[in-house]
Structure 1
Amino acid sequence: MTTTADNNPAMPLPELTLIVAATSKMGIGLRGTLPWTGLKKEMAYFARVTKRAPSPGVTNTVIMGRKTWDSIPPRFRPLKERQNIVISRSLERSSSTESQTVGSLPEALALLSQQSTASESGSKTGKAFIIGGAQIYEAALELKQARRILLTRILSDFECDTFFPVELPESGEGSGWRRRGQEALDAWVGESVYGEVQEEAGTKYVFEMWERDN
C-alpha cells in the first residue's frame, strides 16, 4: 500500500517503539489475554512510559490491533492521555479526539505524519508506540521506522499460544537487535528504571530496551 507520506518527502514516517511483555521464549499471550496476572507495577510502568511526551504540547500515540483494543476493559479505553489508533479491517473507520480506527499500519503512520506537519491545528504528535498484538508487531518490524523495543522480560514460565515475532535472547544480541544499557533505558523513557529483577504475584520480570543494529 502506498501512503500519502510515502509520496511526500516533507512528511517523513514517524519512528516506532514496540512495547511488549514477553517470556524468555517470547510468549506474549494465551487465548486472547495475558498469561500472567497481578503485575500492577509493570502496568504502571507501561502507562507512564507511553504517556510521557518528549516535550510540552504534544501527545504520544499508541497503535494497536482490534483484538488488543477489545482486550482492554471498556472502562479503560481509549487509553487516557494518549492518542489511540486501532487497526482493523472489520471495524468502521472512526475518528474522535482520543481514538481513531484505520485499516492498516501504513495508514496509521500516514495519519501521524500528517499530524506532525500540521502548522495551525496544534495537533503535534510525540512518541509512537506499537502495543500489540502479534500481527501488528510483525508488520511494524518489517518497517525501518521500527527502531526500538521496550521489553518487560517475564522470567517465570507460562503457557503461551501467541509469540513476539523476534527472538531477543538474554545474552543481549540477536536477530539484528542489541540490548542497551541501563543508562540508555533511563534516558529514553525519562525516569530511573529499576534495573534489578522484580517480583509481583509470584512472577519475576526485568525491564530492558533493545535497539535495531544499523
Structure 2
Amino acid sequence: MTTPELTLIVAATRSMGIGFQGTMPWKGLKREMQYFARVTTRVPTSSQPPIQNAVIMGRKTWDSIPPKFRPLKNRLNIVITRSAPANPPPSPPPADAEVRVPSVEAALKYAAEASSSNGGGTAARVFVMGGAQIYEAALTHPLAKRVLLTSIDSEFECDTWFPLDLTGGKAEGWERKSKEELQAWTGEEIDEGGQEEAGVKYEFQMWEKKD
C-alpha cells in the first residue's frame, strides 16, 4: 500500500486571507471555482480506471459547501472531524457519501487503503482544501509536496489566513514553479499574467517543497 503525496489547493488574498465568517471573502469567481473542480477531479493520464482523486477537508469547510453540491462529485470526500466514528466505513466507501476521520494522518491512510482495495487506484491524487487548521496540519506532514495557489490580487475582510506566506514570490523551503510546470501537472491552460473576473484579478500558481 503506497501512501499518496499531499497537494494543498487554496485561494488567498494578497495577505494570504482565505476566509471570513465561515465562507469565502470574495464573490463571483465562477471560473476560479471551475478551475478548482477540474483540477481536483482530473486524474493523471497514466492512471487506470476505476480511479478517483481524494479531497480532504475539515468539518467547517464541509459545512460551508451548499448541501446540493455535497459530496463533491467524482471525488472521494474525506472530512476531518473530532466527532468521526471510531472506525471509518469499509473502503472503497459507498457512492455519494463522505468519509469522516479524526486526523490528516487517518485521512491519508483511508485514501491509501481505498486505492489498494479497488485495483490499486481509487485515490490517484490527494488534495487538502481547508480550513486553516487542516492546512496547517497538512503543511507539517512529511508527505506535503505542493501548493496550488490562486493568488487574488486584492484585499478582502478576512478572519482566517493560510498558514504559509507565499507573497513576494519567495517562501522559505518552497519554490514557485513555472507556468509550464503548472500546466503540465494540472492539465490546464494557464493565462500568462493571470486573469480578471468580477472585477478581481488573480493568478494561478504552483509551489513545491524543496528537497
Q: Judge same fold: TM > 0.5, yes or no.
A: yes
Q: Is the 8 A contact 1:116 1:124 kept in 2?
A: yes
How do 1:108-123 residues align onto structure 2 when only pairs under 5 Å count? 108-118=107-117
Determine helix, strand or coil for the equivalent of 1:78: coil
| Aligned equivalent of 1:48, options 30, 33, 38 | 38
| Alignment check: 8 A CA contact 1:149 1:209 kept | yes
1:174 aligns with 2:171: yes
Instruction: Tell me, in whole angstroms, the C-alpha distance in 2 between the residues paired with 1:103 and 1:76.
Output: 23
CA distance in 1, matches of 2:190, 2:131: 25
Q: Deviations over 1:23-54 (max 9, x none)?
A: 12110001111100000000000000000011
Q: Which residue of 1 aligns with 2:101?
A: 102
Equivalent-residue separation in structure 1 for 2:6 and 2:153 (angstroms): 26
Q: Post-superposition shift, 1:92?
A: 4.5
| Matched-pair contact (CA < 8 Å) for 2:48–2:121 | no
The reply on whether 1:125 has 2:123 as its aligned counterpart is: yes
Runs of 4+ residues over 6 Å off in structure 1: none
TM-superposition CA deviations, 1:46-93 (whole Å, max 9, x none): 000000011241100100000000000000000001110001012546
8 Å contact from structure 1 (residues 134, 163) kept in 2:
yes
> Does 2:191 match 1:165?
no
Q: For 1:69-108, what aligned pairs fall within 5 Å after superposition?
A: 69-92=62-85, 95=89, 96-98=94-96, 99-108=98-107
TM score, norm. by length of structure 2: 0.90
SS at match of 1:64: strand
Q: Normalization by structure 1: what TM-score?
A: 0.89
What are the ranges of 5 or more consecutive residues in structure 1 without an aligned counterpart? 1-10
Distance 1:192 1:76 in 2: 26
What RMSD over aligned residues (CA atoms) do the two structures have, in Å? 1.6
The residue type paired with residue 145 of structure 1 is L
1:213 aligns with 2:203: no
**Cα offset, 1:200, TM superposition:** 1.2
Superposed displacement of residue 100, structure 1: 0.7
TM-superposed deviation, 1:185: 0.2
**Letter aligned with residue 194 of structure 1:** D
Which is further off, 194-203 or 93-102? 93-102
Q: Secondary structure at the match of 1:70?
A: helix
Inter-partner Cα distance in structure 2 for 1:142 and 1:178: 16
Aligned length: 202
| One-letter amino acid matched to 1:70 | D
Q: Which one of 12, 25, 41 corresponds to residue 22 of structure 1? A: 12
Matched, 1:192 2:182: no
